[in-house]
Amino acid sequence: MCKPVVFLFLGTSLLYMPCVGSLSIYKHLQNNETILSFGLSTKFYGISQFESNLRYFTPLFIFDIIIYVPMVVSYGVQVILIPFLCNFIATYLEYIQLRLNAIYIESKQTSQSEARLIKLMKGIYQDHYDAMKFVKALNEIFNGVFLVKVAISSFLYCLLFFILTQVEDNYLLIKAVALVICLQLDVLLICIYGDRLITQSLNISVACYDVKWYNASIKFQKMIAMMIMMTNIPLKVTAWDFGDISIQSYGTIMRRTYSYFTLMHNGSEEQEGAKLNQI
């Protein structure tokens, strides 16, 4: 099921990006606008000089169109795949809680079901161990991504908010607001589902305690106690050792953003005031 979705996404990207890139080039040429590409710019003076300028900008935009595809795939991984994986494992932990509730129902039966209860508990042990391995692999793969996001998000948001206060053109303002929303959504989704992963992981210990373990055998009680000890440390995605990815970390990012924005805004006002005094 996953492979067709991945191929559909990649195929759409391969078809969509060249078309958008070509239309963008044609639009800029018609309007005699400056074409920007990864920090480089070229001024075109109309369609009549298209052929004479072709050799200058064609390699540049071929590179642009090619590089758009991995950019879209990379952003799709960050915005869609990482929150999906966090939500998937959180749902899996919620399923483990339901299985623990099923053990409570089983425990109401006769003592002949003791072996079955222990078997069910061993299955839950294995499921939780698989969840731990999954989260460990997720952290090993995306630790660098999380660290970069946490490190640059505050500074990036600060710059964008500062730009919003300086833009006077309504069209540019709408584009800037849309960019801020997209970038905010990127980090917010990861933090929301990362927080859900932590919550569901901690809820397993609560579900273990709700099992009528005190009416079971000593062996079963030890298994429940061991499970509670294992789940006291929640499963979570981290930015290496610099912090957990959760709603609290998103709040920290926004507080830093406000601090940096205030500092930059006050500095800009002081600079403008100094220029006015010189005049």
Residue 235 class from Cβ within 10 Å (0-12 exposed, 13-18 middle, 19+ buried)?
buried
Mean residue pLDDT of the chain comes to 75
pLDDT confidence of residue 37 = 41
Q: What stretches of 167-246 show up as alpha helix (H) in DSSP? A: 170-210, 218-231
**0.75 exceeded by pTM:** no
The answer to whether 117 and 106 are in contact (CB under 8 A) is: yes
Tell me 244's DSSP state: B
**Three-state SS at 211:** coil
More confident residue, 135 or 185: 135
More confident residue, 233 or 45: 233
Query: What is the average per-residue pLDDT within 24-44?
Result: 45
pLDDT confidence of residue 18 = 46
Confidence class for position 166, pLDDT limits 50, 70, 90: confident
CB neighbourhood size of 99 (10 A): 14
**Dihedral sign for Cα atoms in the order 120, 123, 129, 130:** negative
Share of the chain above pLDDT 90, in %: 18
CB neighbourhood size of 23 (10 A): 10
Of 190, 187, 189, 183, nearest to 164 (Cα)? 183
Q: Give the DSSP letter string of 125-158.
A: HHHHHHHHHHHHHHHHHHHHHHHHHHHHHHHHHH
Confidence class for position 36, pLDDT limits 50, 70, 90: very low
State pLDDT tens for residues 223-260.
889 999 988 889 999 988 778 899 999 999 899 888 98
**Token output for 182:** 């997209």
* Rg value, the chain, Cα: 27
pLDDT confidence of residue 89 = 93
Confidence class for position 164, pLDDT limits 50, 70, 90: confident
Whose structure tokens read 């309504």?
170
State pLDDT tens for residues 64-108.
666 666 666 666 667 788 888 899 999 999 999 988 888 766 666
Range of the domain at 93: 2-278
pLDDT confidence of residue 6 = 42
Which range, of 24-33, 106-115, 144-153, 174-183, averages the lowest pLDDT? 24-33
State pLDDT tens for residues 175-232.
778 878 877 888 888 999 999 999 999 999 999 888 877 777 888 888 889 999 988 8
pLDDT confidence of residue 50 = 47
